[in-house]
């Protein structure tokens, strides 16, 4: 009887090598390693890539994949490592596929930001609330499935009680950014809006 080559290799004590050789090649989308998110993963919101009103990044090096979904007119699933922000202190980061099926693998963060950098106040999945008691997941889950929990204006979520002008001012007032070029009058307006806005 003739032995199949893999079994033959095993009989010659080359089993691990034979099994490895039989493994299919890793998928092209495989990550180099687990996604590690620390305070250093976050930066001045305006140094991220703007998409309409919000900003994106990818801490796993796949900004192209993140932008492809963010700019798709029909939605899609954001790739692992995607970072999405509207406000300097609230962030969604896409974890590895299957990490948390309830939140479709999004991890929610509430940050403190200052000139010195970023501090993580809260992080987690369906249980994270912003500093006004609003549960991130409870709002973002209202987005229609094709938008992968991204709300924007018209994806089906309850609206935020804040104007686009105030959103822009909060983005401008991110203390981690180099604001040396910003005119004083704009800094004053941004500061006032930041102090008066409940977000």
Q: How far is the CB of 23 from ligand HEC (least distance, A)?
A: 37
Residues 85, 48: contact at Cβ < 8 Å? yes
**Binding map of ligand HEC across residues 168-197, x = CB under 6 A, - = no contact:** ------------------------------
Backbone angles phi, psi at 169, to 5 degrees: -65, -40
Binding range to ligand HEC, per CB under 6 A, among 12-20, 24-32, 154-162, 169-177: 154-162
Segment 108 to 127, residues that bind ligand HEC, using CB under 6 A:
108-110
Contact flag: residue 84 with ligand HEC (CB under 6 A): yes
Residues 80, 35: contact at Cβ < 8 Å? yes
Q: How far is the CB of 7 from ligand HEC (least distance, A)?
A: 52
Choosing from 31, 112, 125, 152, the residue that interacts with ligand HEC (CB under 6 A) is 152
Size of the site for ligand HEC (CB under 6 A): 26
Segment 13 to 52, residues that bind ligand HEC, using CB under 6 A:
none
Q: Which residues bind ligand HEC (CB under 6 A)?
A: 53-54, 84-86, 90-92, 108-110, 128, 130, 134-136, 139-140, 150-153, 157-160
């Amino acid at each position: 009887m003739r032995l199949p080559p893999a079994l033959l290799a095993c009989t010659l004590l080359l089993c691990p090598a034979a099994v490895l050789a039989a493994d299919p090649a890793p998928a092209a989308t495989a990550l180099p390693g687990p996604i590690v998110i620390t305070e250093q993963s976050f930066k001045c919101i305006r140094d991220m890539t703007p998409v309409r009103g919000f900003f994106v990044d990818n801490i796993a090096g796949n900004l192209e994949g993140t932008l492809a979904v963010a700019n798709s007119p029909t939605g899609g699933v954001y790739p692992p490592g995607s970072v999405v922000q509207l406000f300097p202190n609230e962030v969604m980061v896409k974890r590895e596929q299957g990490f948390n099926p309830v939140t479709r693998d999004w991890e929610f963060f509430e940050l403190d930001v200052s000139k010195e950098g970023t501090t993580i106040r809260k992080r987690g999945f369906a249980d994270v609330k912003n500093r006004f008691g609003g549960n991130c997941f409870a709002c973002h889950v209202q987005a229609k499935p094709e938008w992968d929990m991204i709300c924007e204006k018209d994806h089906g979520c309850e609206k935020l009680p804040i104007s686009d002008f105030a959103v822009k001012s909060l983005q401008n007032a991110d203390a981690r950014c180099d604001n040396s070029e910003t005119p004083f009058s704009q800094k004053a307006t941004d500061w006032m809006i930041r102090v008066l806005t409940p977000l």
